[in-house]
Amino acid sequence: MKVKILRGISGAGKSTYTRAHYPNAYVVSADLFFIDPQGNYNFDASKLGEAHASCFKNYIKALIDGQDLIVVDNTNTTAWECSPYVAGACAYGYEYEIITLECDPDIAANRNVHKVPKKSVFDMHKKVSSKQLPPFWNHKIVKAK
C-alpha cells in the first residue's frame, strides 16, 4: 500500500500528473472541497482551513479503509504541510513518496486553473524551491511539463 504526496506551485500540473501516472488512485485534495454538485469550482479563501481539514479527514479515512494507492494532491510547499501526510502513512504502514513537480512560476501562473494571483504563485515557488524537507524523507523531483 502506497501514498504519493504531491508538492508544487499552483499550475505546476499536479492534477494532470496524477491523472497520467496514477489513474486508479484514491485522490484527496483540498481543491475537491470547493467543487459543487454540478462540478463547478467555487474557491472561497475564508474556507481554506476547512478545506484542508476535510482533505486530511478524507486521507485518514482512506488509510483506515486500506486504499491501495492514495495521492495527496495539494501544494504542500513546506515540510510542515507535508508532515501530517508522512506521519499518517507511517502510522498506518504505508510506503510513501513525496513528489515535487518543478515548474517555471511564469508558466504555472499563466496556466493555473484556480486563478491564483501571480504574486502568490511566485511566493509558493520560493517555498518549494527552498527544498527544506528532511533528508530522510522519501522524496523525488520531477520536471513538470
Q: Are 97 and 137 in contact (CB under 8 A)?
A: no
| E runs forming strands in the chain | 2-7, 26-28, 69-73, 95-102, 139-143
- Supply the pLDDT for residue 45: 83
39-47 long-range contacts, CB within 8 A, separation 24+ = 41/113, 41/114, 43/114, 43/115
Comparing C-alpha atoms, which of 82, 140, 107 is closest to residue 13?
107
Q: What is the pLDDT of residue 128?
A: 86
Question: Rounded to whole angstroms, how far apart are CA atoms 109 and 124?
Answer: 11
Backbone angles phi, psi at 58, to 5 degrees: -65, -35
Domains recognised in the chain with CATH numbers: 2-143 (3.40.50.300)
| 106 within 8 A of 93, measured Cβ to Cβ | no
Quote the pLDDT of residue 113: 67
pLDDT, one tens digit per residue, over 45-100 is 899 999 999 999 999 999 999 999 999 999 999 999 999 999 999 999 999 999 99
pTM of the entire predicted model: 0.91
